[in-house]
Structure 1
Amino acid sequence: MPATRSELPLLDTAVARCCSTEEGVPLTREDADVVARLLKAVADPVRLQILSIVRCSEGGEVCACDLPTPLGLAQPTVSHHLRILVEAGLLTRERRGSWAWFALVPERLALARQALTS
């Protein structure tokens, strides 16, 4: 079962180090691996669309059932992309009855932003 928001490591020590504001400190291999996994998850147009839809949604969450139509994709394909985003820690998943609801993890988005700007 995927991790819930409270179970996700919000800022790994290695990632915090790599995204510090210290000048002239290169990424270690471990830091680079962590950041690369995160960036790899968002390096897909569909996943960027999903993040945008969730970010712009009322209440900051979206039911999986509401995504196939705006994305123009079949439910299994949408589920695949959602799984990747959850595994990367960018989204959380909450079961409500037979539906799965997804919400952003702002700290992980901030981490991706920091990795690109620091």
Structure 2
Amino acid sequence: MSLDPVRVFKCLGDETRLMLVLLVLREQELCVCEMTHALEVSQPKVSRHLAQLRQCGLLDDRREGQWVYYGLEASLPGWVMATLEAAAQGQASRLAALRARLAAMGNRPERRAALC
């Protein structure tokens, strides 16, 4: 599957999907429960959008026990990374607020216990 600009921009054209990718960009990887907490949206909605982002080739996942963590696809071309960085700059204040919600929950073991 190739990542052409039209496909990438269609995938990122939804606000929820854009913010999910930008959170992952800044946090390296997140599980579904962390994303639902940060964005204050339902787990089914987050999971649906994550599936679309995986199909687009923007995100990848890995399992750790019962948790699934999502990160950026390792082979993203430079132009996609530059696009994501530009979008993160454009959404800097919203992204900071979302990351602050995550930070308030503590580190990953504490977050998992509190959220998942």
**Alignment TM class, shorter chain as reference:** 0.5 to 0.7
Q: Tell me if the contact between 1:89 and 1:105 (Cα under 8 Å) persists in the aligned partners.
A: yes
Task: Rate the CA distance shift 1:114–1:74 in 2: closer, same or farther, 3 A.
Answer: closer
Equivalent in 20, 25, 28 of residue 50 of structure 1 = 20
3-state SS of 2:41 partner: coil
3-state SS of 2:16 partner: helix
Matched, 1:100 2:68: yes
Counterpart CA distance in 2 for 1:112 and 1:55 is: 12
Q: Which TM-score applies when normalising by structure 2?
A: 0.61
Counterpart residue number, 2:10: 40
**What's the RMSD between the two structures over aligned residues?**
2.4
- Which has the larger helix fraction? 2
Q: Tell me if the contact between 1:90 and 1:109 (Cα under 8 Å) persists in the aligned partners.
A: no
Amino acid at match of 1:41: C
Q: Which TM-score applies when normalising by structure 1?
A: 0.60
Amino acid at match of 1:102: Y
Equivalent in 47, 52, 62 of residue 30 of structure 2 = 62
Matched, 1:72 2:46: no
Q: What is the percent sequence identity of the aligned residues?
A: 29
Q: Tell me if the contact between 1:65 and 1:99 (Cα under 8 Å) persists in the aligned partners.
A: no
Counterpart CA distance in 2 for 1:105 and 1:67 is: 17
Task: Rate the CA distance shift 1:45–1:70 in 2: closer, same or farther, 3 A.
Answer: same
3-state SS of 2:57 partner: coil
Paired residues in the alignment total 83
Gaps of 5+ in 1: 1-8, 16-33
Counterpart residue number, 2:59: 91
Q: Tell me if the contact between 1:91 and 1:103 (Cα under 8 Å) persists in the aligned partners.
A: yes
Q: Which has the larger radius of gyration?
A: 1
Counterpart CA distance in 2 for 1:61 and 1:114 is: 18
